Amino acid sequence: MIHSQNHRVVAELPNAAVGATATASLTVDTIGYDYCSLTVLRGSNAATTFANVLKIEESDASGSGFSDVTAFVAGGTGGFTVPAITAAGTAATSVVKLDIDTKARKRYLRVSYTPAATANVAITGRLSRAAESPATASDANVLTWVRG
């Protein structure tokens, strides 16, 4: 088995900038996968604070019942800290990566991100350690899959 092929891609790419009072989110169905890596990318803007809100929530149902995963709430008690972005760094893309052992979590995970100032945002994810390896591009959730 080639482990780098044993994953599924999940992505949420808003078409427009996300305002400081708006939230970008991505819900991931983790069934059949033991690990999830989520990446939140914020395009350059003047804010030295990465986010007003950045957190992972979990639920047994896809559309309701989500609750915070304490260790994955930025600035929350028992959560994590996102360092300030230097003034020079505001001209570059800033990235936060969240790695989650899904064996210890509920089936659905949702990452929610509200930037500190209007910014272009991308949230991507990769499910890995699958019970069964994806066999097709559709299984891997990609447009095309080139192997060689």
- Report the pLDDT value the prediction gives residue 66, as an integer from 0 to 100: 98
Q: Which of 17, 26, 43 is nearest to 109 (CA)?
A: 26
47, 113 Cβ separation under 8 angstroms? no
Percent of the chain residues topping a pLDDT of 70: 93
What is the pLDDT at residue 59?
Answer: 98
pLDDT tens track for 38-94: 999 888 887 888 888 999 999 999 989 999 999 999 998 999 999 888 877 777 788
Residues 132-148 have pLDDT tens digits of: 888 888 888 888 888 87
For residue 13, which phi and psi values (nearest 5 degrees)? -125, 95
Query: Quick check: 115 pLDDT over 80?
Result: yes
Write out pLDDT tens, residues 41-55. Answer: 888 887 888 888 999
Give the separation between CA 117 and CA 26, rounded to whole angstroms.
Answer: 19
The pLDDT assigned to 2 comes to 58
Distance set, CA 36 to CA 23, 47, 50, 136 (Å)? 21, 28, 22, 20
- Specify the CATH number of the domain 7-124: 2.60.120
Percent of residues, the chain, with pLDDT higher than 90: 44
Mean pLDDT within 14-19: 76
Weakest mean pLDDT among 15-19, 49-53, 121-125: 15-19
